[in-house]
Structure 1
Amino acid sequence: MSMRCTLGVDIGTSSSKGVLVAADGTLLASATRQHEVDRPRSGWVEMDATVWWSEFVSLARELLETVPDASVAGVGISGMGPCVLLCDDDDVPVRPAILYGVDTRAGEQIDRMNTDLGVDEIARVGGSQLSSQAAGAKIAWVADEEPEAWARARRLYMPASWLARKLTGAYVLDHQSASQTSPLYDVEAEAWHESWWQRYAAPVEAPPLAWAGDIAGGVTAEAAATTGLAEGTPVIVGTIDAWTEAVSVGAHEVGDLMLMYGTTMFLVATGDETLRTPSMWTTAGAFPGTRNLAGGLSTSGALTAWIAGLTDADYPQLLAEAAESGPGARGLVTLPYFAGERTPIQDPDARGVIAGLTLEHGRGDLYRSALEATALGVRHNVETMRAAGADLRRIVAVGGGTQGELWLQIVSDVTGLVQEVPAITIGASYGAAFLAAAAVAERAGAALPLITEWNPVIRTITPDSATRERYDALFDRYLRLYEASKSVVHELAAEQRSRA
């Protein structure tokens, strides 16, 4: 007897993940493919987009072999973003995909757009000021810097929309992803800003827009033969991974804040009003009628992985030594800006700083300070969101970093926030599978699944009041250290670029 389920696949920064999920939310099987991004120059972060499709195919086939009686009712997709993948008329990429805000190459284009259009008008139309997260500026960079590639560019994709195209033949982009293609999307009109698209993105065809949970189409005969999926299987439009992760843990209602613990850290606050603040990202939500105020650290898990590689120690060792180090890491404070920083300082030329080092400090202190640095970055974002008027009623944690206790506890202690942790924290692939299940149920006129039943909260992390005073002082030093070191690290960043 066949088992009805949905397939969810997410293309992430350091890996792609796939899951098969039963109709009641039970995780039947999961699989992962590791990959690396390319960093050809300082500030550039790219990826060969053909990997996205090859890994989807590999994951789908492995999962279907693992659960041979699986009957896939729908396919969910998501991916990192906002990315810029430009393709020609035959859907051949004209260059590697330019990744999201960790890629900081488009500074000159941002300056020109601000001059041409006006900073206030850009924020009025798109909701946010331009930053390294703005995909529209990266499209303009290709037009300026790579004319041969630009001459062939005809379509714009992100990881999820690329998979939708390969699976169904549909050319479509979800509203949430489009709203991060700043300044080319009008957030209140929920539509492309036609005159600005023509000014900066012509001759690329603007993708038709839909919502993340809408059905893009059915699996084509060609895609079915390649993937092992049945021809005609519905595929959703999908969206950016952070928003799909929010769906996976039910953190997409008004008043919710999702914290995504991954290679980078991401925060998504959901409301029903458009909130604007210069240092955060105002976007359309994953669902009609919602708006998000979002932020992201450029490093989190990437920073801890860097320390693990540098010290040649495994994570259990480092975590044990970090716990022994204790709050404050024996007098260290770290700025986690090892890849520049996104929100709330919006400074691509920021760099990592470790202050207070002595010969007595060890790797456990460094690791503890790195964990605290990401927590301090989260607090900086949360306080900025609240100052903008965000009503944060509920915090939900998701991602690979939620598996242990220490990192979660440090974030709660530093921010003063209670965090809820659901049963399944595998992330965006699970959320994509849920969106597919909901889309298929809606099409059939059946009862919609509930994420609270699929994935209930099983842990709550409560701040330790005994650490509050120490972390308040550390947060003050964190803010002052950035201001005090900024001029020096900007000079170093310029030197790094000159040597690239």
Structure 2
Amino acid sequence: MPSTAQATTASGNDRLVLAVDLGTSGCKCALIGMDGRVLAWTFRAVTLHLVDELGVEQDPQDWWHAFLDGAQELLAADARRRQQVIAVCCSTFGECTIPVDDEGNALSRAMLWVDMRGADAIRRRARSGRLNIQGYGPLKLARWLRLTGGAPSLSGKDPAGHIAWLYDHQPSLVERTGKFLNALDFMNLRLTGRFCATYDSALTTWATDNRDLSQVRYDARLLRMLGVERDKLPELVHSTEVIGHLLPTVAETLGLAPDTKVVAGAIDNSAAAIGAGTVRDRELHLYLGTSSWLGAHMPKKRTDINAFIASLPCAQPDRYLAMAMQTTACGNLSFLRDRILFHADELLGDDQRMDVYPLLDRIADRVPPGSRGLIYMPWLLGERTPVDDRHLRAGLFNLSLEHTREDMIRAFLEGVALNTRWMLEPMLDFIGGERGGAMTIVGGGGQSDVWCQMIADVTGMVVQQPHAPIQANALGAAFIAGIGLGELTYHDVPTLCRHRQRFEPRQTLRGLYDDCFGTFKQLHRQLAPIYRRLNQHRSPPR
């Protein structure tokens, strides 16, 4: 299995966290000191499985083997490291569902956050008679919003939809299920043997009362609305709770001390908000990974149903995290690479693959801003904020004979930047921010200087780039572990996060990108009904 390993010079800090960042593309493991220094990290890819019309799955065993393989590589590189590791802590993608039996064995592959098989099942549960609001029964919607801060996605792309589909289509599997787990819950189970879920990992079952962060709990009425038994959901814990020690077999496999602690951790959006250093109220971070989101901590729970933005439980015990989610960001570049530039057909030469992303940066940088009038809409799998529309699809608009592949490459990057601005405008209203402020970019896309400058120009925001944007989730997991162990506090985190550079929006491009953005929104308004008609009964493109 391919791997990537990088190391830096060790600091004097001798207490390390084995931090795990499980994303859709694969599993990163990192050794991180309490001062925020990343000593070394590895990556192992994980296979994605496409099932039937709308299913997207991964095998949880692949996650576990990727973790063990990457962690063993890190620990084997220096014999001292095994003595220095005092804790393990995970960050994982969310909105994923794995049914496991009473012994913790996975009964099927995991349904992922882009799996839409549960759309019809959750729509039936969300409706109420003939009077409905955006597909929800009014009383049901009111209860979900009041208790949880949100509501199940009618696209079926969250555990509420996944579990509803399993109840409707695989009742025998449900009968054998001891617990429905998220990816974070599964990793913690394999590390400690304990069935538990953090407040943020349990959130999108949409069955928890989150009004009081000191006592988040499952709500019996929400469970009845969803048709889920309470005993099939794990106990709830806070992200900084020490949930146990490594199981003896795991400790032995990794060569770690049997008393190595495991801290509960967080799902990726919560961990990224910590790893970006944006722990103070209303400080924005933008995560650019396969998907994308904007996040900012807030002191109160709030929901904007029209823009599909909510503030929800997170890793900080006394704060909510305002979240605006978009379905596909760097996934567009993966699509460009795998389905167009290097698609496996007769046109593919002997070169096969290369590290293509730096080349895309170089090519995009020599194309004039605005991509010579070419507009890309990055909705490969529908969209979530500021519209929740599973029917939207991607496309290049205004393509002509004058355009080249170079223009298309820049248009892909600009399309994601325009989509980010589309999400940013209601997000700034939600948190009380202003255009022209700052946001920190993390995730794999944040490594691109060209893209950072482009996002600054398109959004009008100052973009702050950390030294290692791709390591933000792992850093967040390490800081959460340090706080859980009493080694750090959340107030320490900003001083431990170092920025590499700032990208200021260029005022000379403001008029151009304002015009591009106006066209982008007009395209959505005019094309949305056509996409709905074309894709009402069709699966998304693979």
Tell me which of 144, 147, 160 is aligned to 1:125: 147
**Pair 1:128–1:499, CA change in 2 (3 A):** closer
Residues of 1 paired with 2:479 and 2:540: CA distance? Answer: 47
SS in 1 for 2:337: helix
Q: Does structure 1 residue 327 correspond to structure 2 residue 372?
A: no
**1:194 paired residue number:** 220
Residues of 1 paired with 2:404 and 2:373: CA distance? Answer: 12
Q: Does structure 1 residue 208 correspond to structure 2 residue 235?
A: yes
Residues of 2 paired with 1:315 and 1:362: CA distance? Answer: 18
Tell me which of 265, 274, 283 is aligned to 2:312: 283
Q: Does structure 1 residue 311 correspond to structure 2 residue 311?
A: no
**2:345 paired residue number:** none
Quick check: 1:319–1:364 contact (8 Å CA) kept in 2?
Answer: no
Residues of 2 paired with 1:204 and 1:334: CA distance? Answer: 46
Q: CA deviation at 1:254?
A: 0.8
Q: Which whole-Å deviations, capped at 9, do the CAs of 1:88-126 have from their partners, x for residues lacking one? A: 1121222211112x2222222332232245323322222
Tell me which of 431, 443, 454 is aligned to 1:410: 454
**1:387 paired residue number:** 429
Quick check: 1:438–1:448 contact (8 Å CA) kept in 2?
Answer: yes
Quick check: 2:45–2:66 contact (8 Å CA) kept in 1?
Answer: no
Residues of 2 paired with 1:269 and 1:3: CA distance? Answer: 32
Tell me which of 367, 370, 378 is aligned to 2:412: 370
Residues of 1 paired with 2:304 and 2:385: CA distance? Answer: 11
Structure 1 length-normalised TM: 0.93
Q: Name structure 1 gaps, 5 residues minimum.
A: none
**1:437 paired residue number:** 482
Q: CA deviation at 1:208?
A: 1.4
**Pair 1:498–1:455, CA change in 2 (3 A):** closer
SS in 2 for 1:90: coil
Q: Does structure 1 residue 33 correspond to structure 2 residue 44?
A: yes
**1:110 paired residue number:** 122
Tell me which of 151, 157, 167 is aligned to 2:181: 157
In the TM superposition, what are the counterparts of 1:452-471 in structure 2 within 5 Å? 452-471=494-513
Q: Does structure 1 residue 22 correspond to structure 2 residue 33?
A: yes
Q: CA deviation at 1:394?
A: 4.3
Q: Does structure 1 residue 295 correspond to structure 2 residue 313?
A: no
Residues of 1 paired with 2:198 and 2:169: CA distance? Answer: 28
Q: CA deviation at 1:437?
A: 2.3
Q: CA deviation at 1:242?
A: 2.0
SS in 1 for 2:70: helix
Quick check: 2:447–2:468 contact (8 Å CA) kept in 1?
Answer: no
**Pair 1:315–1:222, CA change in 2 (3 A):** closer
Quick check: 2:89–2:481 contact (8 Å CA) kept in 1?
Answer: yes
Tell me which of 384, 394, 406 is aligned to 1:342: 384
Letter of the structure 2 residue corresponding to residue 118 of structure 1 = K
SS in 1 for 2:325: strand
Indicate the larger mover: 485-494 or 86-95. 485-494
Residues of 1 paired with 2:447 and 2:383: CA distance? Answer: 25
Structure 2 length-normalised TM: 0.86
SS in 1 for 2:29: strand
Quick check: 2:14–2:33 contact (8 Å CA) kept in 1?
Answer: yes
SS in 2 for 1:304: helix
Quick check: 1:180–1:283 contact (8 Å CA) kept in 2?
Answer: no
Quick check: 1:424–1:455 contact (8 Å CA) kept in 2?
Answer: no
SS in 1 for 2:89: strand
SS in 1 for 2:54: coil
Quick check: 1:318–1:363 contact (8 Å CA) kept in 2?
Answer: no
Q: Which whole-Å deviations, capped at 9, do the CAs of 1:164-216 have from their partners, x for residues lacking one? A: 1111122111111222222x112214221123225522164322112212211
Q: Does structure 1 residue 252 correspond to structure 2 residue 252?
A: no
Quick check: 2:46–2:66 contact (8 Å CA) kept in 1?
Answer: no
Tell me which of 229, 239, 262 is aligned to 1:235: 262
Q: CA deviation at 1:351?
A: 0.7
Residues of 1 paired with 2:491 and 2:27: CA distance? Answer: 25
Quick check: 1:18–1:31 contact (8 Å CA) kept in 2?
Answer: yes
SS in 2 for 1:491: helix
RMSD between aligned alpha carbons?
Answer: 2.3
Residues of 2 paired with 1:450 and 1:498: CA distance? Answer: 44
Residues of 2 paired with 1:67 and 1:454: CA distance? Answer: 25
Q: Which whole-Å deviations, capped at 9, do the CAs of 1:275-328 have from their partners, x for residues lacking one? A: 211222431122112112212221111111221331248333332222222211
Q: Name structure 2 gaps, 5 residues minimum.
A: 1-11, 129-138, 343-353
Q: CA deviation at 1:155?
A: 0.7
Residues of 1 paired with 2:541 and 2:439: CA distance? Answer: 42
Residues of 1 paired with 2:429 and 2:170: CA distance? Answer: 41
Q: CA deviation at 1:338?
A: 0.7
**2:5 paired residue number:** none
**Pair 1:413–1:77, CA change in 2 (3 A):** same
| Larger relative contact order (CA 8 Å, sep ≥ 6) | 1
Residues of 2 paired with 1:220 and 1:389: CA distance? Answer: 42
**Pair 1:490–1:386, CA change in 2 (3 A):** same
Q: CA deviation at 1:440?
A: 2.1
Paired-residue identity, %: 28
**1:98 paired residue number:** 111
In the TM superposition, what are the counterparts of 1:260-271 in structure 2 within 5 Å? 260-271=287-298
**Pair 1:317–1:206, CA change in 2 (3 A):** closer
**Pair 1:356–1:75, CA change in 2 (3 A):** same
**1:169 paired residue number:** 193
Q: CA deviation at 1:387?
A: 3.1
Residues of 2 paired with 1:394 and 1:317: CA distance? Answer: 28
**Pair 1:495–1:172, CA change in 2 (3 A):** closer
**Pair 1:408–1:214, CA change in 2 (3 A):** same
Q: Which whole-Å deviations, capped at 9, do the CAs of 1:378-437 have from their partners, x for residues lacking one? A: 111111123334446641111111222111111111111112122232121222122222
Tell me which of 72, 82, 93 is aligned to 2:85: 72
Residues of 2 paired with 1:250 and 1:89: CA distance? Answer: 39
Indicate the larger mover: 31-40 or 103-112. 103-112
Quick check: 1:217–1:236 contact (8 Å CA) kept in 2?
Answer: yes
Letter of the structure 2 residue corresponding to residue 106 of structure 1 = G
**Pair 1:353–1:281, CA change in 2 (3 A):** farther
In the TM superposition, what are the counterparts of 1:31-70 in structure 2 within 5 Å? 31-70=42-81
Letter of the structure 2 residue corresponding to residue 181 of structure 1 = T
